[in-house]
Amino acid sequence: MTRYEDLPYRTCVGIALINSEGLVFIGRRAGGIEHVDDAHVWQMPQGGVDPGEDAWEAAKRELYEETSVRSVEKLAEIDDWLTYDIPRTVAGRAWKGRYRGQRQKWFALRFTGTDTEIDVERPGGGVHKAEFISWRWEPMQNLPTLIVPFKRPVYERVVKEFAALAGK
């Protein structure tokens, strides 16, 4: 069995979807073993990068697969890959025990559509499994307090990098 410290990070993307009022999309997760309580079940869209896939293309694909959103403009991306470790207590159950956490490339996107485009119940035209059970627009500065605690440093960095794009 591979030691926790020797496990690799799962390559993934994260998306800060910002509307015209400077608010950011967050979704309430449908479930997950990493949830510690009902207050920390919100997150921005994120997901894995397929082998050979470009991170920007992965970001657009993941956004569509989780929210049905395609009406976006790329505003920025964080140059660094941001990482977080999942707690050891759930590492063996998350991602079939193959990863210790995720390394994420984050993108800020301007949402250019209308709220009716967003469909988290039947994302991607109903082809993809729902990741979220509800969603809302939230001020960017609130995001770190809504995420599971072990992801908080990543969200703090995302807020720091993208705050000006949200007008705050």
* Averaged confidence pLDDT in the chain: 91
Residue 53: is its pLDDT beyond 60? yes
Q: Could you give the CA distance from residue 40 to residue 144 in angstroms, rounded to a whole number?
A: 9
Contact status, residue 55 vs residue 105, Cβ threshold 8 Å: yes
Fold classified for 2-163:
Nucleoside Triphosphate Pyrophosphohydrolase (3.90.79)
Residue listed under structure tokens 């605690």: 149
pLDDT, tens digit, 9 for 90 and up, residues 76-118: 999 999 999 988 777 666 677 788 889 999 999 999 999 999 9
pLDDT, tens digit, 9 for 90 and up, residues 27-41: 998 776 566 667 788
Contact status, residue 82 vs residue 103, Cβ threshold 8 Å: yes
Domain segments of the chain: what residues? 2-163
